[in-house]
Chains A and B, each alone.
Chain A
Amino acid sequence: MGSIKDKVAIIGMGCSQFGERWDTGMSDLAIEASSEAFKDAGVGPEDIEACFFSTVYAPMGGTGSSAAADALKLRDIPIIRNENWCTSGHIALFEACMAVASGMYDVVMALGVEKLKDTGYAGLGMGRGMNPVLEARRTAPGSFALIAKRYFEKYGLSNEEGKELIGRIAVKNHDNGSRAPKAHFHNKVPLEKVLAAPVIAWPLGLFDCCGNSDGAACAIVTRADMAKNFRDDPIYLKGVGVAMDSTMPHLRPNFDWIHFGALMNSSKKAYEMAGITNPREELDLAEVHDCFTITELAIYENFGFSKPGGAIEDIRSGFFEIGGGLPVNIDGGLKCFGHPIGASGLRMTYEIYKQLQQKVDNPERQVKNPRLGLSHTFGGPPQISAVAILGNEKG
């Protein structure tokens, strides 16, 4: 496999306010995120040669790419929509990077938008329409919670110990979200409150589950050799890794619901391209897919942030907290920033981008002198993963 390390740069990004945006439609969200990105990059819609657009529900299947054209009045250029569940935003970024790396385009846009709060329902619904019965009454929390019991069993945690361990991730992400103005939730929660909250899908309680939010995020991408024509501090793509897999992991007799091939392989590819051999030491921060607290825990180990079983000690010692060895989800993560599905990959990349430029909207959560950051989304049932590693210097 080849490499596009340092061949592509992000020269502008935008991110809408996340939350329950009752008075804001899908087009408004797209305008909010893209306007900020245009201003940040110093370009306008007339400069965009292609748009890579991600949305999952929006408002339903069969809408093609026209929602982006309708909102932004993009015309006469390719607009390519992708739907890859929670990784959709990252896939839009991946497509944008490939498009400029190929030399075909100079300036392209990746845009992720999701308007979830127009359905009248608090959740995402059940099943995915792939079969009349196979996914009956299968929800995201119920599916990801399957990881928990296997992890607890493997490392000898009682149900209470396990719940407390993942509860600490919720406490951390809520603490982080309190310093992120654009996040859906800003409330800090103590561990006792996390543990006493109503159960959604045992062992996951209310605070173990991410927000169901409206939001949009946008990136303007160009060739690395052109980036300084637009700004002094472009952010370079160091590595990408995408691994998709069957959504039926039970077909694999040895699948243990703790080790996910998609997670391990997507991160491995991204590390190799970026030249990272020890992510725990070399990364300065990471935004990973904490749709549920147990998911974030599994990612620590599958990504090599922690050794197998080592996440337990790393969580208890605060290694992933702000000021710790590797801050993870420093903007509150999906947990508090919110999870508008098709926008999330680009929102997480936005945080890394701003951190690397040291231009975070609230200086209280700015990491000191970061060089390398990772963003990641994970969808499914958990078998589809995308990773992007960004840096603020070439080489």
Chain B
Amino acid sequence: MPIHKRLRAALNLSKSEWHESKRSSLIMSFTRESIGKLPRAAMAALLGVLSLSACIGTSPEEALRAEQGDAPDGNPEHRPGQPCLVCHGADYSPGGPVFVLAGTIYDKSSDPNSNGLSGAEVSFLDAANHEFTALTNRKGNFMVRVRTDLSAPKQRSKGQLDIPWQPVFPISVGVTSAGGEERAMESQIWREGSCAACHHGSDPDVDHVEKVWYTELAP
């Protein structure tokens, strides 16, 4: 039996009522009489659909990704200043490579997104005493990926670092500019792999702090 006939039978509607409901949308065309005619099973199904539609929409991951806007992708220098793991996280990775830690380092918090700090060393110490250091690329980006086939951390080109173990939170982090001294982040990273999840913009606000800067905060 075609699906529309099965649906009409399930809703217990006459042919004319069915056509009427199709003209002015299924739900809106229900008259008091047609709703009253619904068998219990159909009513339960309708309420089930309503309850699902009330709670399910775009997933948080998809919504976050959409918030990042359009930009050319495909190389390690793209989208500086954005939360990398939105597209490169373990649970949701439409961007391909999965990172455990990634972000962008700036010299000053007032730097526009295109001027990250190149050649900075981003040093990590995790709760299992693993130490590793990533080197930022021309845009200030760095990204850390787990590769269990390695025996030691391996710095690759363009800010990419591979490490042989899953880092254990909490993680302490510090940044050293070429020829400079290390500046440590005051607090530890407890679960978020993207710097920009907490660090974005030139100024702090109630729910975030400014982008990761090395020399100074924006005036």
- Asked whether A and B interact, the reply is no
B residues at A contact (CB < 8 Å)? none
A residues at B contact (CB < 8 Å)? none
